[in-house]
Amino acid sequence: MKEFKLRLKQIFLLLLSLFVFSSCASLPKDAFKLSATSLQDRQLQSRKFTTLNSRMLLSAGAGVLQDMGYTIDESNAVLGVLTASKNADARDTGQILGAITVALLTGVVPPTDKEQNIRICLVIQEALDKQKSSVARITIQRVIWNTEGHISRVESVHSPELYQAFFDKLSKATFLEANQI
Amino acid sequence: MRRLKFGWTMFVAVLLLAGCVSRNSHVISGGSAVELRSFQTRAFDTTDKHQMIRTTIAVLQDLGFIIDKTDEDLGLVTGTKLSGYQIRMSIIVQPRGEKQMAVRASASYNNRAIEDPLPYQDFFSALEKGIFLTAQKID
């Protein structure tokens, strides 16, 4: 009976490791599919400006990003693309409090988030409707490292408040109103 | 005893050599180039390279990518998607004959080349949708 239990445990561990490895190695099926919310995401991430001067919007965008401490990594005025990044603190009070609680209960201090690298991409496209206007769209991603120096998260940042804050600044910098698309 | 030692040395030497060969071979590795190209490439009935690149950028944004690099002369767009994993993708838009644009995409998942046709099919169907919406002038 004891041997049977041991064998069962071995099989379980084998299955578990197979599952973990296979899930690590395979690409998620929806990685290249438009998600159900992609249209909504696009609307949240975009604002319309009544100008066809995409260069002006792009350089104002560069200025706004510089104001926020970003370094411009890539720019293409012809295609209307601007990508910038910065490193920032990633400590979260809630997470640290959680870690302290775990440490008090178990005596082991779990790693917490420490540093993040944030990347913002701004793309200006001509609006497709007949009004002479341009559409600016931003997307944000970040990589977070924990206190042990390991990557704890790689993700896209979906935050309508952050998009709004960015477009408010862009609107002020261009003296143009940022309209919802 | 000596024979055993010789055998052991040879075994280690073979292992080391095998390691060397496989490491360098990855530099120019890859599956069948013809097969890979066939499912990584699609032709579209348009001559407007600029618009094709712009649509590609918009579709990449729809799919959650950030644009890392662009070059209009080469028709190149490179992007990264982070969503618990990392996908990097390069797309090259080039004229194909007089009336078409060829779009070639190559992607890697957590730094390993994606050589399965299915993800590319998904990408091109998203791109087709994007081109359709652009042609119909729908924002």
A:B CB pairs within 8 Å: 106
Contacts of residue A170, defined as CB under 8 A and 6 or more positions apart, other chains included, come to A47, A57, A60, A61, A64, A136, A178
CB spacing of B61 vs A42 below 8 angstroms? yes
**Sequence letter at residue B92:** I
- What is the DSSP code (8-state) at residue A109? -
Q: What is the ipTM of this complex?
A: 0.80
Nearest by CB to B64, from A123, A135, A156: name it.
A156
**pLDDT score, position A23:** 46
Alpha-carbon distances of A75 from A55, A122, B67, B74, B98, rounded to whole Å: 11, 9, 10, 15, 30
- Rounded distance between C-alpha atoms, residue B94 and residue A176, angstroms: 36
Q: Rounded to an integer, what distance in angstroms lies between the CA atom of residue A18 and that of residue A105?
A: 32
Residues of chain B in contact with residue A32, where contact means CB-CB under 8 angstroms, are 63, 107, 119-120, 122-123, 126
Q: Which of A56-65, A159-168, B3-12 is predicted least confidently?
A: B3-12
pLDDT of residue B1: 63
Identify which has the larger pLDDT, B30 or A115: A115
- What pLDDT, on the 0 to 100 scale, is given for residue B8? 77
Q: Kindly identify which residue of chain A lies nearest to residue B63, measuring between CA atoms.
A: A34
Which residues 134-163 on chain A approach chain B with CB closer than 8 angstroms? 135, 137, 139-143, 153-156
Residue A25 in this model has a pLDDT that exceeds 80:
no
Backbone angles phi, psi at A150, to 5 degrees: -95, 155
Residue-averaged pLDDT of chain B = 86
What pLDDT does A12 receive? 58
Region B20-36 average pLDDT: 73
Of the residues A23, A24, A26, A27, the best mutation for testing chain B's interface (the one with the most B CB atoms within 10 Å of its CB) is A27
Q: What is the mean predicted confidence (pLDDT) over B72-92?
A: 96
Of the residues B49, B51, B57, the best mutation for testing chain A's interface (the one with the most A CB atoms within 10 Å of its CB) is B57
Q: What is the pLDDT of residue A20?
A: 47
What's the mean pLDDT in A2-29? 62
Of the candidates A50, A60, A116, which has an alpha carbon nearest to the alpha carbon of residue A86? A116
pLDDT greater than 90 at residue A76: yes
For residue B117, what pLDDT is reported? 92
* Closest Cβ–Cβ partner in B67, B114, B126 for A27: B114
Give pLDDT, residue B18. 58
Judge contact between B81 and B65, C-beta under 8 A: yes
| Residues in chain B, total | 139
Structure tokens, A120: 């913002």
Average pLDDT of the residues in B66-73: 96
What does the pLDDT average to over A168-176? 92
A114 in contact with B, Cβ within 8 Å: no
Cα torsion for A131, A135, B57, A32, to the nearest 10°? -110
pLDDT of residue A17: 53
Dihedral pair phi/psi, residue B20, rounded to 5°: -60, -50
Instruction: Evaluate if residue B7 carries a pLDDT over 90.
Output: no
pLDDT at res. B32: 73
End-to-end CA distance of chain B: 79
pLDDT given at position A1: 59
Asked whether the beta carbons of residue A38 and residue B63 sit closer than 8 angstroms, the reply is yes
- Is the CB of residue B48 less than 8 Å away from at least one CB of chain A? no
The 3-state DSSP class for residue A67 equals: helix
Give A-chain residues touching B105 at CB under 8 angstroms: none
Considering CB atoms only, which of A27, A28, A34 is closest to B126? A34
Residue A21: the pLDDT is: 47
Average pLDDT, chain A: 87
Q: Establish if B103 touches chain A: CB-CB under 8 angstroms.
A: no
Q: Looking at the predicted structure, is the pLDDT value of residue B10 above 60?
A: yes
Q: Which residues of B touch A40 (CB under 8 A)?
A: none
Write down the pLDDT at residue A62: 95
pLDDT at A177: 83
Q: In chain A, what are the domains?
A: 37-180 (3.30.530.50)
